[in-house]
Amino acid sequence: MRRYDKNADEDDIRSRPGRRGSRPRTRIRPKHEDAAEAMILTVDRGRMTCLVDGGTKDERQVVAMKARELGRKGVVVGDTVSVVGDLSGEPDTLARIVRVEERSSVLRRTADDDDPYERIVVANAQQMAIVTALANPEPRPRLIDRCLVAAYDAGMEPLLVLTKSDLAPADELLESYAALGIDYVVTRADELETVGAEAVRAHLRGRTTVFIGHSGVGKTTLVNALVPDRQRSTGRVNAVTGRGRHTTVSALALRLPPPPGARPGSKKALDPGWVIDTPGFRSFGLSHVDPSRVIHAFPDLEPGTVDCPRACSHDEPDCALDAWVADGHADPARLYSLRRLLATREAPEGD
């Protein structure tokens, strides 16, 4: 042990640097101007598969992890991100996600209506395909309504995809949603690999579409028919409970094949559209949805809310929408549909 006399000065004292060095910390983060833009295709246990230079001859898939500087900010399928590091796409390489670009849309859900924790399903999708079987299992209209509310809240256009029409007719279910003016397509199992798949693709071209549906409706089977070169595992419906079994465990973005006759290198060939397959669910909580945003999906009714009382639920005696519809500004069936969707936000999910 070194001893210092009473005349010791600072030159006699030696300080030992810390284990992490003596470099001062800074709040300034690197800008990463050389970062490459990529699209998140799937997320698996902290590793993200990204598509770099998508739509070009140099496109490649790169595995990346989230940089510490992003903090708690999550990364989901469909996100546009900036990545640095090894972008070669070679096996056993790892890049780093340093920035998540602003999202054009965000689809959220909660496990139940009283669940305060919301989960982001996908980002930057323009369309939601609500996949429902006409039989085996039976349709669940209340669940369809909940998906519609989530689509309208996220700013997505809904598409109703009805499967297994060889087991039951679609007329009655379609009639109940006719007033909403939703696009729809009906498929059957024996035509799915041929004309059925192409009929669905016609609604998906040039767009990013997230496929939503509860277990057993044939969602993944449909996705496999749409993108034949990327087969995902499928399951069967339980004969006793009438419910399906979860076979898709993570969301995955898949690019559609080019349309027939598309010229190589053309926009139709390079950007034919994306489908995002998501895990099946048995409930769709809406505790995160602000009911006041649902009215934006009804442009024919929205002007009539100007004279509504403050914080009007649009389903009470003083609601101005009743007079708006009575004066002939909108179809009464549209108002009924709006109120049915708003009631779905408050009522239990049972049909």
Please answer whether residues 58 and 78 qualify as being in contact, where contact means their C-beta atoms are separated by less than 8 angstroms.
no
Alpha helix ranges (H) inside the chain: 141-154, 171-176, 197-201, 219-226, 267-270, 321-326, 332-346
Question: Does the annotation flag 218 for ligand binding?
Answer: yes
164 is in an annotated binding site: yes
Q: What are phi and psi of 184, to 5 degrees?
A: -150, 160
Which residue in the block uniquely carries the two structure tokens 């070169």? 229
Q: How far apart are CA 270 and CA 263, in angstroms?
A: 10
- Token match 């595995």: residue? 63
Which H helix or E strand runs over 36? Answer: strand 36-44
147 is in an annotated binding site: no
Angle of CA points 99, 105, 109, to nearest 5° = 100
Task: Report whether 219 belongs to an annotated binding site.
Answer: yes
- Cα torsion through 77, 238, 235, 115, rounded to 10: 10
- Say whether 66 counts as a known binding-site residue: no
Q: What share of the chain is helix, strand, coil (3-state, %, to 5)?
A: 25, 25, 50
The angle at the Cα of 171, spanning 339 to 151, to the nearest 5 degrees, equals 40
Residue 319 assigned as binding residue: yes
CA 345 vs. chain centroid, Å, equals: 19
**Distance of alpha carbon 351 from the chain centroid:** 24
213 is in an annotated binding site: yes
Q: Is 248 annotated as a binding residue?
A: no
**318 labeled binding residue:** no
The C-alpha atoms of residue 255 and residue 54 are separated, in whole angstroms, by: 10
Tokens coding 276: 């995002």
Q: Any idea what the Cα angle at residue 102 is, between residues 43 and 93, rounded to 5°?
A: 35
Residue 50 assigned ligand-binding role: no
85 is in an annotated binding site: no
| 314 annotated among ligand-binding-site residues | yes
Find out whether 163 is annotated in a ligand binding site: yes
Residue numbers belonging to the annotated binding site for Zn(2+): 308, 312, 314, 319
Residue numbers belonging to the annotated binding site for GTP: 163-166, 213-221
Residue numbers belonging to the annotated binding site: 163-166, 213-221, 308, 312, 314, 319
